Amino acid sequence: MAEDIRIGVFVCDCGSNIAGYLDCPSLAEYSETLPNVVFVKENLYTCSETGINEIKNAIKEEKLNRVVVASCSPRTHEPLFRESCGEAGLNPYLFEMVNIRDQCSWVHMQEREEGTNKARDLIRMGVAKAALLQPQEPIQSEVDPKALVIGGGISGMTSAMALANRGYQVFLVEKSSEMGGLLRNLHKLAPANVDAQELLAKQVEAVSNHENISLLTSTTINEIQGYIGHYEVTVSTNGVAQDFGVGVIIIATGAKVFRPEGLFNYDGKRVITQFDLEAFFRNKKFKADNVVMIQCVGARNEERKYCSRICCMIAIKNAIVIKEQNPETSVHILYRDIQAYGTENEALFQHSKQLGVRYIKYDQERPPEVQENAVKVYHHLLGRELEIPQDLVVLSTPLIAGEDNEALSKLLRVTLDANKFFLEGHVKLKPLDFATDGVYLCGNAHYPATLREAISQALGAASRASIPLAKGVMTVEPIVSVLADEDACRGCGLCVALCPYSALEIVQTEKGRKVRVIPVACKGCGVCASTCYQHALDINVYTDDQVEEQIRAFLTGS
């Protein structure tokens, strides 16, 4: 027997946000005339306790089996309304939201009649779609309580330790034969003046001896298949392959130091990088009376537009080390802008000045010129060129993205930014996550970071990764792709190739090659359904039928 559809429509005034610009009483009156609508209510604020209770009571008393709320943005309020439907005993996915605030009252503030007419159209379309909604159940999938951390620098080691200390087994993969990444090159760490090699040694020892960490050095990632909770990883250690499964993955692959070949007479001896200088300090080979540092070498230019953020502080820190070793050594820093963000960095900057470090601003258009025993620089305040004596020139060069980033981003289907660093899911809301669930990032893999930032990010990524591991079961919103017409599917794999989240696979069935949806990995983005030329796939709450019905309601006005 066909279901008796009973739709309740709630028109929200949003205070004066909607009612100040649209004729809400007439929208409520109009809603009563729409097919299957048995109950209508205009609320001052539908999302208030009173409004929510009115929805819940109407579901029970009027036996509503579909709810439409005409109000604000589903992005902010849909979860609340769905939950309220659920609390009143209605499947939360028998709910439809119509945005008459952002799409009508806000954009048509000066056009009350036209805005109200548009809201009428949208409500009619929402009601038409609601009649075809089907109940959906949350999708659950078990999580393999193990983690893969890619990269054995300070970020990777910190993440691995944090997860291992919580009792999860961690595979820590490092492609080189030694742990430590860029930290291996450093001398002292600002602002606390910590010995980098002591810190590194302690961390390597802790990681190496932790019973929950499988340390895989000289190891490359060959393949990663799967989705949150179930990743199948194949790695190769000195040519020997091994497979293991994990539930989550942290990318901590770090970055590389830009080598300024061909710039400012760089030769690695008299003209060196800040990283070379750190090695001189470590090996006690530093010897110079007149040091000139040049900032932004190979950065903030046409080829590399970004600021590497940490080079100014490295230069300031190293200038202080030189001055503290020998106050007579002259140190000049030629800069374009100084990035000394935060109170501690600003204090170090001021301290360096007190120690006698001289700062000269140069113009990108008139860069310094490195000569045999001097550096020529145009001082734009004095309006003339200066010749600064030098017996050591130190170039501050940026960190650049690792060469494996592209391959890894393809393996995991995660995005890179324009500079080939890994790109977070959202700069504010998901700074340590990717859009793909179950994959997290930290440290220089994301963007040049100080040691403190890298450690904070690593702990944050480990916390994020711990959430699915601790839950043991992933619950995903059931707005996903479904194979609506199996017979129509030709198993061509077009949708599989285009799915940004690896949520589809081709499987062999009794009817031949067919696509299979992995619901827990699917984000319901709709790429597959709109691509399939056979119309075999549908998004379950935006089916072709529902969308067609919305369009029909719009065109026919009924």
Residue number with CB closer to ligand SF4 (54 or 437): 437
Residue 537 binds to ligand SF4 (criterion: CB under 6 A)? yes
Residue 541 binds to ligand SF4 (criterion: CB under 6 A)? no
Compute the distance between CA of residue 356 and CA of residue 508 in angstroms, rounded to an integer.
74
Residue number with CB closer to ligand SF4 (355 or 435): 435
Residue number with CB closer to ligand SF4 (212 or 409): 409
The least distance separating ligand SF4 from the CB of residue 125, rounded to whole angstroms, comes to 22
For residues 188 and 196, is the Cβ–Cβ distance under 8 A?
A: yes
3-state SS of 300-369?
CCCCCCCCCCCHHHHHHHHHHHHHHHCCCCEEEEEECCCCCCCHHHHHHHHHHHHCCCEEEECECCECCE
The least distance separating ligand SF4 from the CB of residue 100, rounded to whole angstroms, comes to 27
Residue 481 binds to ligand SF4 (criterion: CB under 6 A)? yes
Beta-sheet pairing, 473-476 with 139-142:
antiparallel
- Torsion over CA of 277, 419, 247 and 470, rounded to 10 degrees? 70
Compute the distance between CA of residue 421 and CA of residue 405 in angstroms, rounded to an integer.
7
Residue 394 binds to ligand SF4 (criterion: CB under 6 A)? no
* H/E stretch holding 412: helix 405-412
Residue number with CB closer to ligand SF4 (366 or 410): 410
Give the up-direction half-sphere exposure of residue 96: CA atoms within 13 A in the CB hemisphere.
26
Residue 414 binds to ligand SF4 (criterion: CB under 6 A)? no
Residue number with CB closer to ligand SF4 (414 or 539): 539
Residue 67 binds to ligand SF4 (criterion: CB under 6 A)? no
Residue number with CB closer to ligand SF4 (221 or 528): 528
Ranges within 491-530 binding ligand SF4 (CB under 6 A):
491-495, 499, 501, 503-504, 515, 517, 522-528
Q: Which stretch binds ligand SF4 (CB under 6 A): 60-68, 164-172, 456-464, 486-494?
A: 486-494
Residue 122 binds to ligand SF4 (criterion: CB under 6 A)? no
For residues 200 and 182, is the Cβ–Cβ distance under 8 A?
A: no
| Cis check: omega of the bond before 138, within 30 degrees of 0 | no
For residues 67 and 51, is the Cβ–Cβ distance under 8 A?
A: no
Q: Which stretch binds ligand SF4 (CB under 6 A): 118-126, 189-197, 219-227, 533-541?
A: 533-541
For residues 384 and 400, is the Cβ–Cβ distance under 8 A?
A: no
Residue number with CB closer to ligand SF4 (67 or 520): 520
The least distance separating ligand SF4 from the CB of residue 132, rounded to whole angstroms, comes to 19
* H/E stretch holding 512: strand 512-517
Compute the distance between CA of residue 161 and CA of residue 369 in angstroms, rounded to an integer.
47
Residue number with CB closer to ligand SF4 (147 or 495): 495
The least distance separating ligand SF4 from the CB of residue 409, rounded to whole angstroms, comes to 17
Q: Which stretch binds ligand SF4 (CB under 6 A): 45-53, 219-227, 343-351, 489-497?
A: 489-497
Residue number with CB closer to ligand SF4 (210 or 516): 516
Size of the site for ligand SF4 (CB under 6 A): 27
Compute the distance between CA of residue 305 and CA of residue 556 in angstroms, rounded to an integer.
53
Q: Among 419, 187, 193, which residue's Cα sits nearest to residue 298?
A: 419
Q: Which stretch binds ligand SF4 (CB under 6 A): 53-61, 172-180, 452-460, 532-540?
A: 532-540
For residues 58 and 41, is the Cβ–Cβ distance under 8 A?
A: yes
> What residues contact residue 108 under an 8 Å CB cut-off, 6+ apart?
21, 114, 115, 118
The least distance separating ligand SF4 from the CB of residue 530, rounded to whole angstroms, comes to 9
Binding site for ligand SF4 (CB under 6 A): 480-481, 489-495, 499, 501, 503-504, 515, 517, 522-528, 532, 534, 536-537, 539
